[in-house]
Structure 1
Amino acid sequence: MRSPEGDATASERRRSGLPTKSNEADAFARARGLSLSDDAPALPSQWPVLGAMALAGALGNGLIAQSYPPITSLVAVLLSALLFSLSRLVRDTGRVRRLSVTTAFGLIPHLLVGYAYAEWMFHGGLPLGFGIATLILAGSMAAVFLAGRPFPMLFVKIGIWLPIAVHSIAYNDHMAVIALPLAILVAVGIALFQERYDRRSEEERQAEERSRNRSIDILRDYEATGQGWFWETDKHGRIVYISEVFAERYGFDHEDLLGKVFTSVFEVDPGDRDAERTIKFHFTAHSPFHELPVRGEGRAGDGTVWWSVNGRPIFDSFENFCGFRGSGTDLTERRRSAEHASRLALYDSLTGLANRHALSQALSKLLTHRNPAQRVCSILMLDLDRFKHVNDTFGHPTGDALLNQVARRLEKVVGDLGTVGRIGGDEFQVLIPKRCEKARLEQLGNDIIHSLSQPYSIDGNRAVIGASVGIAIAPEHGGTSERLVRSADLALYAAKDAGRGRYRVFSDDLHVAARERNQLEEELRLAIDTGGLQLHYQPVVNTATEEISGFEALMRWNHPKQGWISPEKFVPVAEDAGLIVAMGEWAIRQACSDLARWPKSVRCAVNVSPLQFADPALPGVIADAIAKAGICPSRLELEITESVFLDDSEGTDATFAALKAVGVRLALDDFGTGYSSLGYLKNAPFDKIKIDQGFVRGATMPGSRNGAIIAAISSLANALGMDTTAEGVETLDELELIRMHGCSHIQGYIYSKPLSTAEADARLEEGLKARPSGPRAAREPRQAMLRRVVLQHGEDFYNGTIRNISSQGALIEGLWNVPEGTVFRVALSERLAVDAEVRWCAENRIGVRFAQRLRRDQRGQFDLPAPEVERSIQREQRRSA
């Protein structure tokens, strides 16, 4: 608030007539266009005029009639004029006092006037017509002044005509004697009529006053609710009225507000020049204004407060400007909500970072700069590795807390170099609004990965995640925001395909990979429609009897041109394209159809994705497939992962109940790898627990705790009456360990690889007995990846894809009929190539052994920079030439 020099103090307001708290009721009524009236006095303020008229009447009659009044008449007229004049000095309060005033200044002066003219007419020679006319005129004038006062009017009539009647009796003038009663009767009649009229007027006035008072009460109640308040200014813009609730609500002294200039209390936004001109214009032009936002500094700890004010000019009956009247409401919460909404439009509500919209605006602004030389920037797209695992394991609150810590680390690493934003889920983006060298960007990407890979502590839990980074530079990799983001996304996908936990700078060959992915999606749709998918079955063996108790159905796709495509490659495409539900329904129907041919003791397990499980039509689809195949429902087993419990619990429970009503068996897949909770085993009707192969791998290694975990899961399942299946058993040592810890079923290459439908039929015809076959010990751990490489053999070059890799060798797909012992020069990256010998070949896959061991980095992964296939081939060809 500011207090201008022109503001008046409380004492000055009293001296100058400005309103104070004492006359607030009147000001309150004026601010709303209402007025308060008092009872009318016994005699009107114009009463002294009758004295002057009495003197003028005497003078006029004397001149016109050439008759001079007797001394007694002259004295009576002068005394009446004096009494008329003295009436202005007396205030009539109280009923008795009002009667005395009426008698002294109403009845007696008119008795004197009547006496004066009676003496003049009967003793001084004034013609009777002149005298009577003068008295009628005087009585009529008095009646006009006494409108609404019936009893004073009666006193006036009696006072004027009583002396005439007395003199008439004395002179035997019977007409005057008759006129007096008639005058009195007329006066009484007029008085009674006036009384009734005044009573009706009084009732109407009181009703109007009650209505006014009701309006005032309603307005006061409205003010008391705090929803609004009223104000009024004089013609100089000084506040003459403002609601007390306003002063109380915002901590002002009500007396101090009165007399202040309106614009000193209510300021417009100093940054809004239009608003400043608007309020000045309205006050100068005397024009109304509506919902004008103003602000002030509250003194009740509110800080800056915003109001919306409305005002209209007020004018008197002569159209003279008198000031403004208006109302106001509090805008503070609405404005804060609007500011919050504006912030949400540009910032992520969870982390406080810029959101997708803000980053998109900033990027578009940079790339549309009027100076082409300034259209340079870089973006880094980030995706967190293993975040879903943490989110599923510890729950969404922990995941949110982890995202906040990631945001703070990113801000620390990036610093002032650029803007960090979250574009959704576990995806982040860094925008660098200037030219930055590729080496600096690569260093930044590496620093981000290193920082985000450090352990996190959240509510006593320890979490470790990683990050993959895709980098794109403008204008080299895209001149528009859409193209640049697309380039960064492609680089990010390449980094993730290369094994995660690494960065990748965009290169032109990534567009080829994106087109191949889109092509793969279209071909996958066609394969679903035309029956191009197949189910392969991997046997599940009972540990105690070593007999096949069932199969797990595994989706396979034999591409007409590319051959067998790994599920790890086409299943993510199906999930992204929304095809997974249709694929899952086909798998269930096909498995039921195959079960109908197999022995009744054999079951089949089919994987159900979380998206398919969330489909309300799933129980109906399964019941229809079982009915059409004519099999027992318990022969079909559905494998469900723990992630289904993170959705709607009511819907999940309803789906479980519906599936059990159908009669199928339920298996909890990959137990212990997600958000594991014993509550699932307690509440959900599972028949089996599947132990993930991650616990089987390395279980036989010295110091491994995996064996103890397998034993604990087996004991838990046995206590709950559930079966257990250990997945991924590949060595004899692992088989013996699984048996020792009490697992009821085993699945893995130790017994059989996945079989085609025909192979499964043939295997069952041989009998159910199963015999283990495989290496005694596990091979060196391998790192899974999906990475394109170039293989050179002599002058020929071949393209392949690494599926997994170890320090001694790799599994490569994409080559057929390669003889064992063939030696390739494998270009793992632009700066790393190794010699490799083919150890085996099956379908489109080969296993190779490196001539030299590869080294792992600090994270236990192989540092393989992104290959640039075409450039590598061109360099090799140039060197050969």
Structure 2
Amino acid sequence: MGAMPFSELFKSRKPHVGGVGEGAVQGSSTIGPAAPDRAAIVADLENAGISWFWATDAAGQVSYLSEAIARACGHEGTCASGVTLQSLLIPVAGEGDGRSLGLKLGTRKPFSGLLVETTGGEPANRLVLRLSGRAVFDAAGGFIGFRGSALDATEEYRNEEEASRLAQFDSLTGLSNRHRMGQRIEATLAAFRQTKRAATLFMLDLDRFKQVNDTLGHAAGDELLQQVGDRLRGAVAGRGEIGRLGGDEFQVLIPDVDDRGELGVLARKIIAMLSQPYSLSDGRCTIGCSVGVAIAPYDGVEREELERAADLALYASKNGGRGQFRFYAADLELEDQLRRRMESDLADAIEAGSFALEYEPLVSLADNRVVALEARYCWEDEERGRVSPESFLPIAEGSRLIVPIGEWALMRACRDARQWPATVRLAIPVSPVQFFASGFADRVAAVLEETEFDPARLELQLCEAIIQGDAAMVDKGLGALFKLGVRLTLDHFGRGFTSLSYLRRAPFSSLRVAPNFFEPTIGDELGDMEMIGAIVQLARTLGMETSAGGIHALPLLARLQALGIDHVGGYVFGEPMSADAVEIAFLQGDWTIAPSDAGSQRASRRTVFRKIGLIHTDCYYEVTLRNLSRSGAMIQGLEDVPVGTQFVLDFGGGQLAVATVKRVMDDTQGVEFEQELVDDGAGGLVTRGRVSPYALANAGLPLQSLGAGKVAGAPEAGVPRFKLSRNAPRPAGIAA
């Protein structure tokens, strides 16, 4: 038989043993002749919510439960027969292991202040209670159950929970805040060091966010950040922790991923999703995103190290032109120093007039006739020699020095082009920094007027990053240029995310195919030809011409011609020429160039010139890397190497690539990689994986992030099988 309910206990006024809350009722007494009924007192306490009561029998089943608690648990009345108390009331999150109430009841010892939550009813009606109780024994000392009280702690707990949430999460986006992200990163790295696992940290910075605040207001900026948070959740898809550090800075922590190919795909996905247009209450806008990536334990084993590495990679990605990602590398610190020095030298070069222009022919595939010449920047530096545009233009853009350099180039090119036949156009690239600089269209008009150059012969090449800027500013700028009568080309089309509806109404005369379409793919060694064909058809539909630059080989040229590309430039038609050489070529009449493979280069092969390590058996050689592609490289420095020899190339920073010699030319070998390299986000190539510092630690070396030099533990000596070439060039360091 179960224990007597509280109401019956109080009505009977019989002496009993047991307790309610912290005290026990040992008997009954009355205070005066009109003492209130104890059952009425209990009812008043329960109805007022001051205190609730509960009781169980010897078997632990509920014999009494205040009606408010029973209702919150989905039961009616004051008795939930056949149900144990611990099945109705469970410890709240973080307040025990889920068995604490059952353990306390099992020990038959008094307890108080146990925080529990009701279950079984509607989530909105659930209560948080502070539970107290004491075991009840009969006159013979036999255990007959538990009785206790409960205080409503719902509001107090929810307020504390909300305060805790606000202390750990960003109130605007709902993402983790800086404090929580710091804790998560530190805890993850500490735990992963014990289990030798990897973790990756992304640092994100929004591009052009300040323009949104300045043009649409801070309310629009807040709305934009909320949408950014939603898109980040969609891109990461639950694979890691996302945090907003404040302003337009974000972090993403991805556990158990160190494959740089996979991480590069994720970085591009994030950039793509965040670069799509946003619809806000106060207007429409487009921003961009730059990403820096650091991987533990390769780039750091402590939180401070990893965050610094990711910050440095982010800084490099922003200086590289924004809208891209960069992996951390130990030589980024040196790169940062060299960048700052080059920025200073660029400013001096403008004053000294150290810049020149060269011109690359753009040829019509219908008759091989030169229809335009594209201007290319040249910088001859006293110390560096000839500096490639790929090296100094990103720095000029980051420092806004591209504005005076670009203005000079436009003036110089228009003067040069006046000497060309009237049927030949001048094409010149325009940086986003130039385009958005105040009065750009006015400066173009002034140059055309001063040089008396026909606007119809001037072709401005605008990259997709420009039309992803503030819509009002873009429309105004394009409209002003269109009124001048100049031709507008959308350069690197297909690399960004241009809206087709916008393309239909924008005043572009031609589309220039992005060079990344010429990267070899698994299905087509010439690149993504199907996509190029689709772009040609789109351009025809819109009444635009198509062009492609950097064409390096005759088979690729033949495919592009079959697809209907109108104009092509690149190695198959010659390299850039000086202004004097262009004039001489035009003196011979109509200038036609037959395509040739005499100076062709392998698709997507980067010309480089730097020292790397080469491991063969137990010997470590130092050789020169001459060029590089995803699938192979050309190395120079060893003689008498037979075809089929297998090497391990050490690119530094723990990057090892197994390679097999496929062809030999004296002291130069062409090698093919066992596993293709992947994009580093800035036009370079890196290995997917690296030598793990955990593996080095197992070999007795200290656990630390990888440096820029040769891989630790590589062989130092042995009996050399191959002889070092005396004629091999000896570069002093890494070429820019």
Query: Given the two structures, how large is their TM-score scaled by the length of structure 2?
Result: 0.53
Match of 2:688 in 1: 863
Whether 1:409 aligns to 2:249 is no
Larger radius of gyration: 1
Distance 2:515 2:300 in 1: 45
Match of 2:175 in 1: 353
Match of 2:5 in 1: none
Whether 1:808 aligns to 2:632 is yes
**Pair 805,733 (structure 1): closer, same or farther in 2 beyond 3 Å:** closer
- Equivalent of 2:461, from 611, 621, 639? 639
Match of 2:374 in 1: 552
- Equivalent of 1:850, from 665, 670, 681? 670
Q: Which amino acid aligns with 1:405?
A: G
1:837/1:849 contact within 8 Å kept: yes
Give runs of aligned pairs for residues 323-402 of structure 1, distance below 5 A.
343=166, 347=170, 349-350=172-173, 352-356=174-178, 381-383=201-203, 401-402=230-231
Give runs of aligned pairs for residues 491-640 of structure 1, distance below 5 A.
510-640=332-462
Give runs of aligned pairs for residues 702-713 of structure 1, distance below 5 A.
706-713=528-535
**Pair 348,450 (structure 1): closer, same or farther in 2 beyond 3 Å:** farther
How far apart are 1:677 and its partner, in Å?
A: 2.8
1:699/1:734 contact within 8 Å kept: no
Distance 2:265 2:546 in 1: 37
Whether 1:664 aligns to 2:486 is yes
Distance 2:664 2:165 in 1: 63
**Pair 550,357 (structure 1): closer, same or farther in 2 beyond 3 Å:** farther
Match of 1:51 in 2: none
Structure 2: unaligned runs, 5 residues or longer:
1-123, 128-154, 189-197, 209-223, 277-288, 680-684, 692-705, 721-736
How far apart are 1:649 and its partner, in Å?
A: 2.3
1:641/1:669 contact within 8 Å kept: yes
Give runs of aligned pairs for residues 647-658 of structure 1, distance below 5 A.
647-658=469-480
Match of 1:731 in 2: 553
Give runs of aligned pairs for residues 95-134 of structure 1, distance below 5 A.
none
Q: After the TM superposition, which of the residue ranges 450-459 and 573-582 deviates more from structure 2?
A: 450-459
1:718-772 Cα offsets, whole Å, 9 max, x none, are 4544322233333333333333333332222221222233433333334443333
Match of 2:90 in 1: none
**Pair 854,570 (structure 1): closer, same or farther in 2 beyond 3 Å:** farther
2:659/2:674 contact within 8 Å kept: no
Distance 1:863 1:474 in 2: 13
1:169-215 Cα offsets, whole Å, 9 max, x none, are xxxxxxxxxxxxxxxxxxxxxxxxxxxxxxxxxxxxxxxxxxxxxxx
Give runs of aligned pairs for residues 398-437 of structure 1, distance below 5 A.
401-411=230-240, 428-430=251-253
| Percent of pairs with identical residues | 25
SS, match of residue 728 in structure 1: strand
Q: Which amino acid aligns with 1:526?
A: D
Which structure has more relative contact order (CA 8 Å, sep 6+)? It is 2
1:381/1:489 contact within 8 Å kept: no
Distance 1:537 1:781 in 2: 22
2:350/2:405 contact within 8 Å kept: yes
Distance 2:272 2:312 in 1: 36
Distance 1:386 1:772 in 2: 46
Distance 1:786 1:420 in 2: 38
How far apart are 1:664 and its partner, in Å?
A: 1.2
1:548-605 Cα offsets, whole Å, 9 max, x none, are 1111112233343333333333333233333333332232222112212322222111
Q: Which amino acid aligns with 2:234?
A: Q
Q: Which amino acid aligns with 1:545?
A: D
How far apart are 1:467 and its partner, in Å?
A: 8.0
Distance 1:575 1:449 in 2: 30
Answer 1 or 2: which has greater helix percent.
Answer: 1
1:667/1:688 contact within 8 Å kept: yes
SS, match of residue 202 in structure 2: strand
Distance 1:600 1:451 in 2: 46
Query: Given the two structures, how large is their TM-score scaled by the length of structure 1?
Result: 0.45
**Pair 713,446 (structure 1): closer, same or farther in 2 beyond 3 Å:** closer
Distance 1:608 1:858 in 2: 29
SS, match of residue 293 in structure 2: strand
SS, match of residue 616 in structure 1: coil
Match of 1:469 in 2: 293
Task: Report the aligned-residue RMSD.
Answer: 6.0
2:513/2:547 contact within 8 Å kept: yes
Structure 1: unaligned runs, 5 residues or longer:
1-300, 305-331, 367-377, 389-394, 432-440, 813-817, 842-846
Q: After the TM superposition, which of the residue ranges 447-456 and 511-520 deviates more from structure 2?
A: 447-456
Distance 1:590 1:796 in 2: 51
SS, match of residue 491 in structure 2: strand
SS, match of residue 717 in structure 1: helix
1:129-167 Cα offsets, whole Å, 9 max, x none, are xxxxxxxxxxxxxxxxxxxxxxxxxxxxxxxxxxxxxxx
Q: Which amino acid aligns with 2:688?
A: D
Distance 2:299 2:687 in 1: 32
**Pair 710,516 (structure 1): closer, same or farther in 2 beyond 3 Å:** closer
Distance 1:695 1:475 in 2: 32
Q: Which amino acid aligns with 2:202?
A: L
1:401-451 Cα offsets, whole Å, 9 max, x none, are 44113455343xx6xxxx8555676852549xxxxxxxxx9x554599569
Match of 1:165 in 2: none
Give runs of aligned pairs for residues 737-816 of structure 1, distance below 5 A.
737-775=559-597, 782=604, 789-790=611-612, 804-810=628-634
Distance 1:363 1:700 in 2: 37
Distance 1:798 1:458 in 2: 38
- Equivalent of 1:686, from 486, 508, 524? 508
1:697-719 Cα offsets, whole Å, 9 max, x none, are 56997699954544444344345
SS, match of residue 549 in structure 1: strand
2:235/2:269 contact within 8 Å kept: no
**Pair 541,424 (structure 1): closer, same or farther in 2 beyond 3 Å:** farther
**Pair 682,782 (structure 1): closer, same or farther in 2 beyond 3 Å:** closer
Match of 1:98 in 2: none
SS, match of residue 551 in structure 2: coil
How far apart are 1:639 and its partner, in Å?
A: 0.9
1:689/1:717 contact within 8 Å kept: yes
1:787/1:803 contact within 8 Å kept: yes
Q: Which amino acid aligns with 2:506?
A: A
Distance 1:341 1:681 in 2: 49
SS, match of residue 750 in structure 1: helix
2:203/2:310 contact within 8 Å kept: no
1:606/1:637 contact within 8 Å kept: yes
**Pair 808,520 (structure 1): closer, same or farther in 2 beyond 3 Å:** same
1:380/1:488 contact within 8 Å kept: no
SS, match of residue 594 in structure 2: coil
Distance 2:167 2:444 in 1: 44
How far apart are 1:694 and its partner, in Å?
A: 3.6
**Pair 877,539 (structure 1): closer, same or farther in 2 beyond 3 Å:** same
Distance 1:735 1:755 in 2: 21
